[in-house]
Structure 1
Amino acid sequence: MVSTAAYGTWPSPIDAALAATHDGRPEFVGIVGEEVWWTEPRPAEGGRRALVRRRADGTTESVLPEPWNPRSRVVEYGGVPWAGAAREAGGPLVVFVHHADQRLYAYAPDGSEPPRPLTPVSATGGGLRWVDPHLHLDRGERGEVWCVLEEFTGPAPTDVRRVVAAVPLDGSAADDRAAVRELSDDRHRFVTGPKLSYDGRRAAWIAWDHPRMPWDGTVVMTAEVTDEGTFTGVRPLVGDTGESVVQVEWDRDGTLLFVSDISGWWELQRIRPDAVPGAVVPSSRLCSGRGEEFGGPLWKIGQSWFRLLDNGLIAVVHGRGTTRLGVLDPETGELVDAAGPWTEWAETLAVQDTRVVGIAASPVSAYEVVELDTATGHTRVLGARHEDAVDPAHYPEPRTRTFTGPGGREVHAHVHPPRHPDRTGPDGELPPYVVWAHGGPTGRAPLVLDLEIAYFTSRGIGVAEVNYGGSTGYGRAYRERLAGQWGVVDVEDCSAVALALAEEGTADRARLAIRGGSAGGWTTAASLTGTDVYACGAISYPILDLEGWTTGETHDFESRYLESLVGPYAEVPERYRERSPINHTDRLTAPFVLLQGLDDPICPPVQCERFLERIEGRGIPHAYLTFAGESHGFRRTDTLVRALEAELSLYLQTFGIGRSDVPVLELTR
């Protein structure tokens, strides 16, 4: 029987601990022999990642015990941290990057020896870091790992170089930096791991330079590979300052397939490696003209949106706003999507024979490892299977909507109304709503089940995830709406969605909130200091001071990101000052909670501390919660629980909602 209760007071079986145990998702799937391997989060184990293998008999086990943590810190966001290969004797061999020391290790999980280091430790700056490994067991005397080396040359976060390198598998480089072979020079600031052609004679990788981000412009570099394993004839093949190439793969015929947004959408194209730079084979028979994305932003090194099958077909992740897994016939252009409920496929794929393995989620299921057999069209879940911890009637039923922003522009959003199997709101009462601003800002909110969202909606608080102008998934023109307009377009679009929900009678105008982390934290803070739309806000590991962030208070990868988002600092310094929330604390009247990891190299605590100094004595209710051992994004169970309960308590206090099952967040004035 359904009873009436005020919004926000509904009982819910989804507590913060349950939401925390489901935080994170599997990543970086691969096939080793007949087995499928991937990494997945372990919030209860100090936030480490586990490397999991699914054996041919269907059983799964963790490859590495605690405290081993396969996670790279290259460009701080990392990327593919492991590679594995089957062997005739001794079982599979895996190489992985251990998060604690960033060394590359080799390990035979079927043997008795512990992981052995392959690379040395450096005391300079952030040391030596590795990512996107590719195993070549037949290279060198005992095999090599080709990967990206990030090497710090001084104490500053921007004192760094990156090259394509080869690490011997025999361990001779474990204490000898000179034993690492550099395959490329450091002419480019950023590189991805090298892909070797089927005949072993050519290599290709992606490179780019400051001030561009990889979604602004990248180039594909190619080289001839000598019998000794060195690179010669290195040259750019395709890509430019205004063209973003995010993945390359060799075909068996010696051509190179790549994903480029030269058309305005990330699409699959093909080129001959001996072609004159820019001479792209017409792509009309691949995937052009569909008005959807076949790629995405390269935030992590080694992400993949397509893989070539043995029969010549191509598995692709594609879509507009949401993503699907499809099988593309490059000869006819026919594209057939996999059956199933999934609305989001992650940027990781692996193939073997007719099998395609990826990671997918839906509005009623979290991310799980899924296999498609292209011969039969059958799909099945292989690992990290979603299991309902509560009655799915407590999950929200999201609605994907398009709103109208300033100037009539489209603004995309996923709206999650409150939902409960046994409760409804009183007649005449509208529910409170929280606008979620995603991070990036070059990113998007996927249409998937998120127990953090259900934590609020099952209690009677709605959530609206806004894919504001600048978000990916809608073409380059939509992505570039944020060029020079960060802190304007994102703030306006979030406000437009919030106010539209209030005006149409979906949300209570007096009970609107906003929350976000990283770039979403920036949008949240900018919204609270620049508009009167929201009653309160939850700000996590934010950017608050553009001048500080662009002058040494962040890491190398994003150190010049603001040149495209805001403008060159030397040319528009006043814009940096005018946009920064830290310079407008006098406009701040809404209560807020500020959540910060103390080990965050991307958005350091110093920005939060300066922000709090500016509001001291102004009587604004607020709380500042810091978490030792947490970096950019929270991973530990206790942190996730504390942060989520603090956020809910802020809303309850601000909106005047009474309930006694949530720890009270002490607000300072």
Structure 2
Amino acid sequence: MGDEVHTLPYGSWPSPIDAALAAAHDGRPEYVGFVGDEVWWTEPRPAEGGRRALVRRRADGVEEQALPGPWNVRSRVWEYGGRPWAGEVVDGRPLVVFVHFADQRLYRYEPGGGAPRPLTPLSAVGGGLRWADPVLCAERGEVWCVLEEFTGDGPGDVRRVPAAVPLDGSAADDRGAVRELGDGGHRFVTGPRPAPDGRRVAWLGWDHPRMPWEGTEVVVAEIGDDGRTRGARTVAGGPEESIAQVEWSTDNRLLYTSDRTGWWNLYRDGEPLCPREEEFGGPLWKVGERWFAPLDNGLIAVVHGRGPTVLGILDPETGELVDAAGPWTEFCPTLAAHGERVVAVGASPRTAHEVVELDTRTGRARVIGAAHRDAVDPAYYPEPQIRTFTGPEGRDIHARVYPPHHPVCTAPARELPPYVIWAHGGPTSRAPLVLDLAIAYFTSRGIGVAEVDYGGSSGYGRAYRERLREQWGVVDVEDCAAVALALADEGTADRARLAIRGGSAGGWTAAASLAATDVYACGTIVYPVLDLTGWASGETHDFESRYLESLVGPFAEVPARYAERSPVTRADRITVPFLLLQGLDDVICPPVQCERFLARMAGRRVPHAYLAFEGEGHGFRRAETMVSALEAELSLYAQVFGLRVPGIRPLELTG
């Protein structure tokens, strides 16, 4: 197709962004860190069964894979996982410890020193022994980390404690050689953080029914000369105060992020360092996420913002905050500091996630790893509009709107485009302002996308998050519908061609929206929650097993509410076509919920398709799965909206 403009109906624009290209760019580098002067991180390999590779950038600038397949550096602690590796230079050589996904054992690895060697034993009980958020204490001959230990076969038969694992391998076949640092006083803990002087250690703890963004506590213990901890006590936090991260400054002062003012701000020994109505922390979905990192010179690297986040350097003595210059509009909660260098992971609407290094001496930021390479002409990339809509009772709803966009195609006059409302997961999460080729897959064909940060989303303060308290299935549904109808009312979207899609908690919102409103012509529901009663009765993992008490209300007090809001009980109200996508190994939103929902839909003659994928859990990681899912979704919209989309296999709808 030449440079001349072509007039074609929405949805039929030819696009170079196919599902395979979108799948190849799914995921992002995570868990950056320094090993001496080298920068290491993990990154996804969708074409290799979705494994997470450990990558190093050597001091000479060469980027290479540190461990070949099938090594898969990923932890299953809390099921969502967390920081799976740590490293430092010992006796002039890199020493790295990491968690291998297949067996969840902790391994020791020295490049050039042979194959990785296990440090922890296997367990046949329940989900076994799992490890995350490690810190190397080479001078003690140990790695300190989180131990998650299953005591039975049920998802709730589990305990978590900070633990010390010997580096000499003596615990590889002996659970008794693992030294516990805590007393098991909390159901959930983060990894232990020893102070630089080695005299104290800190970690976060909390208990059911709280989630970490609702209330956590900072625990500090003394470290004796024998390396054992004593006198553990709570020094900050509580049931109504969320502390997202705890560290130590170089002069042994306690640093943490707390939302005690309604915003996650940074504190040192209980005193605010830069009080602002913006976030210097976030929801702790994965153990070991980091929104700040202290530097040797006393400055602190921070990821902060209101909605989208930026990377900055904070002077704790003056409160002055200077942000790094560059194209990035979003930084992930992974940071590391070494000398005057900071590494982070940043992205923008024009670039995918990259490993970024900031030299705090010069203020220069540059890409040093996982560099974005334009997969196609950037003229096909979507162009976001940051919008705030008005919802019920006049409340603000934050959203990103991506209109159909093509360099040489336009639609016939007076035709309005179809739009898909995207509901993010969590629900305590938000939609990042980054390049997503899955969005480009639709916008480049003439289908608009609107990502909605409905009430309950993070990034806008605690009050915004708590709009969803006992209102899940109400506020999220109302906010998504308000954005969809506003786009139609202003002439941006075709009222008759609106769809909704979401995964996990977003899958719940999508299904609940189809059951509760007449706004949408169809929907895509991905590894969803569909039955609140089942989810509250042991059908999910321990981490979120009591989450519904805040999202819906205590089950013992409001059991009818659990049934009333569940799509599985309201299946008779769903009258429009839908696509249901599910991983068969999902322990967070198990396939039994989809099966129960489909049984309720049987005989109702509502066109639908159910695609279940073997070997996939919560969040698709394999390239072939993501290709099938995207193509099926596009086919659904083509059939429902009457689009002539070239080159896709038709999805068979039954019902």
SS at match of 2:184: coil
1:653 to 639, 643, 650: 639
State the shift of 1:133 in Å: 0.6
Partner of 1:219: 217
User: Letter of the aligned partner of 1:106 in structure 2?
Assistant: R
> Counterparts of 1:659 and 1:410 in 2: how far apart (Å)?
36
Partner of 2:233: 235
In the alignment, structure 1 residue 632 sits paired with structure 2 residue 618: yes
Q: What do residues 627-658 of structure 1 show as CA deviations (whole Å, max 9, x unaligned)? A: 00000000001000000000000000000112
Partner of 2:30: 27
Q: Does 1:83 align with 2:86?
A: yes
Q: Give the partner amino acid of 2:340.
A: T
- Find the aligned partners of 2:435 and 2:344 in 1 and give their Cα distance: 17
Could you say which residue in structure 2 is the equivalent of 1:148? 146
The answer to whether structure 1 residue 15 and structure 2 residue 1 are counterparts is no
Shift of 1:353: 1.3
Instruction: Tell me the CA shift for residue 287 of structure 1.
Output: 1.2
Give the drift of 1:252.
Answer: 2.5
Partner of 1:549: 535
* Superposition pairs of residues 21-420 of structure 1, within 5 angstroms: 21-89=24-92, 91-111=93-113, 113-139=114-140, 143-271=141-269, 280-281=270-271, 283=272, 286-288=273-275, 290-420=276-406
Deviation at 1:110, TM superposition (A): 2.4
Aligned counterparts of 1:443 and 1:72: Cα–Cα separation in 2: 21
- How far apart are the structure 2 equivalents of 1:370 and 1:527? 39
TM-score by length of 1: 0.97
Letter of the structure 2 residue corresponding to residue 148 of structure 1 = V
* 1:277 corresponds to: none
Q: SS of the counterpart of 1:583?
A: coil
Give the whole-Å Cα distance in 1 for the aligned partners of 2:176 and 2:297: 42
CA-atom RMSD, angstroms? 0.6
Q: Is the 8 A contact 2:143 2:165 kept in 1?
A: yes
Task: Structure 2: give runs of 5+ residues left out of the alignment.
Answer: none
Assess if the C-alpha contact under 8 Å between 2:250 and 2:294 holds in 1: no
What secondary structure, in the 3-state scheme, does the structure 2 residue paired with 1:479 have?
A: helix
C-alpha deviation, 1:377, in angstroms: 1.1
Q: Partner of 1:276 in structure 2?
A: none
Cα drift, residue 202 of structure 1: 0.2
Report the alpha carbon displacement of residue 332 of structure 1 after superposing the two structures with TM.
1.1
Q: Secondary structure at the match of 2:569?
A: helix
- Unaligned 5+ runs, structure 1: 272-279
What stretches of structure 1 move > 6 A for 4+ residues in a row?
A: none
Whether the aligned pair in 2 keeps the contact of 1:92 and 1:110 (CA below 8 Å) is no
How far, CA to CA, are the matches of 1:156 and 1:578 in structure 2? Answer: 27
Q: TM-score, normalised by structure 2?
A: 0.99
Deviations for 1:83-107, whole angstroms, at most 9, x for unmatched residues?
0111224x21110000001000101
Quote the offset at 1:62 in angstroms. 0.7
Q: Distance in 2 between matches of 1:62 and 1:445?
A: 30
1:478 aligns with 2:464: yes
Q: Check conservation: 2:418, 2:493, Cα contact below 8 A.
A: yes
What are the Cα deviations for residues 420-461 of structure 1, in whole angstroms up to 9, with x where unaligned? 001011100000000000000000000100000000000000
Task: Report the 3-state secondary structure (helix = DSSP H, G, I; strand = E; otherwise coil) of the residue aligned with 2:90.
Answer: coil
Give SS of 2:564's match.
helix
Aligned to 1:275: none
State the Cα distance separating 1:310 from its structure 2 match: 1.5
- Indicate conservation of the 8 Å contact 1:220/1:238, yes or no: yes
Distance (whole Å) between structure 2 residues aligned to residue 319 and residue 2 of structure 1: 39
Residue in structure 2 matched with residue 274 of structure 1 by the alignment: none
CA distance in 2, matches of 1:483, 1:3: 49
What percent of counterpart residues are identical?
Answer: 73
Q: Is the 8 A contact 1:538 1:593 kept in 2?
A: yes
The 5 Å alignment of 1:455-474 reads 455-474=441-460
- 2:570 aligned counterpart, secondary structure: helix
Offset from partner CA, 1:5-45 (integer Å, 9 cap, x none): 00000000000000000000000000101100000000000
Of residues 160-169 and 308-317 in structure 1, the stretch that sits farther from structure 2 once superposed is 308-317
1:124-156 Cα deviation digits (max 9, x unpaired): 0000000001111111xxx10100000000110
Q: Distance in 2 between matches of 1:115 and 1:311?
A: 35
Query: In structure 2, what is the Cα distance between the partners aligned to 1:187 and 1:249?
Result: 20
What's the CA shift string for 1:266-287, capped at 9, x where partnerless? Answer: 000011xxxxxxxx33x2xx11
Which secondary structure state, in structure 2, belongs to the residue aligned with residue 86 of structure 1?
strand
What is the correspondence of 1:520-531 to structure 2 with a 5 Å cutoff? 520-531=506-517
